[in-house]
């Protein structure tokens, strides 16, 4: 089984403690910083933008997990400053030309993920399996602290079986939204290997306890 990795949700971080937070993440070897880019149109919220991303690059070399919850992302990629070590996720419903959007990501050399919402049928990804490195299985996107949609746990199992039937076990499964230790352990058993950690795991306390929470979460999903 693929090694489990943590992607820390930066929309849950306190800007006042940002440097201290990054210091803990580097010490604990957090694999990715999850950046929710939201445009207020594709989702009903505004999220982290290009200036935040540039500033974060100056603070750390931890790769970014760029989650683009924006309409027509293919036309906005040059704004962001994508590195080859990054993950870039677009949503199936965010563009009429999913394949084209994924093609536009190829020159960056990053990992290309496709996000599917709880109501998105798994079969929708079949025609773009050759264009993606991973799938991000989501709770309803747009806000931190939402409760997990119960069907998401069953959907992870269905997705695992689908990828096995398609002989595409190489595709990475990321899970995002209310990933508690308990949910993380269940989703790990269904093949998840990247866990977006937010207010349900790391950011449920102050920065002085983040290291402890990271270690607890790693143990649960190892």
Residues with catalytic function: 36, 176
**Phi/psi zone of residue 81: left (φ > 0), alpha (ψ -120 to 50 degrees), beta?**
left
What lies within 8 Å, CB to CB, of 41 at 6+ separation is 70, 71
Contacts of 22 (CB under 8 A, 6+ apart): 59, 60, 62
Sorted by sequence, the CB contacts under 8 Å of residue 42 that are 6+ apart come out as 69, 70, 71, 91, 93, 94
């Amino acid at each position: 089984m693929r090694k489990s990795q943590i992607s820390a949700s930066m929309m849950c971080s306190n800007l006042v403690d940002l440097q201290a937070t990054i210091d803990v993440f580097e010490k604990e070897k957090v694999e990715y910083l999850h950046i929710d880019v939201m445009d207020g149109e594709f989702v009903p919220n505004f999220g982290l933008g290009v200036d935040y991303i540039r500033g974060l690059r100056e603070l750390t070399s931890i790769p970014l997990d760029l989650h683009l919850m924006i309409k027509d992302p293919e036309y906005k990629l040059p704004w962001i400053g994508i590195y080859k070590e990054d993950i870039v996720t677009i949503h199936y419903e965010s563009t009429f030309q999913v394949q084209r959007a994924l093609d536009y990501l190829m020159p960056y050399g990053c990992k290309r993920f496709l996000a599917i919402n709880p109501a998105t049928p798994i079969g929708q990804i079949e025609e773009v399996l050759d264009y993606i490195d991973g799938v991000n299985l989501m709770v309803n996107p747009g806000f931190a602290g939402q409760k997990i949609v119960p069907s998401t746990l069953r959907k992870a199992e269905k997705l695992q079986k689908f990828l096995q039937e398609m002989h595409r076990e190489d595709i990475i499964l990321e899970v995002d939204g209310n990933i508690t230790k308990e949910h993380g352990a269940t989703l790990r058993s269904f093949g998840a290997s990247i866990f977006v950690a937010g207010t349900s795991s790391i950011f449920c306390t102050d920065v002085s306890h983040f290291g402890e929470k990271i270690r607890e979460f790693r143990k649960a999903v190892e």
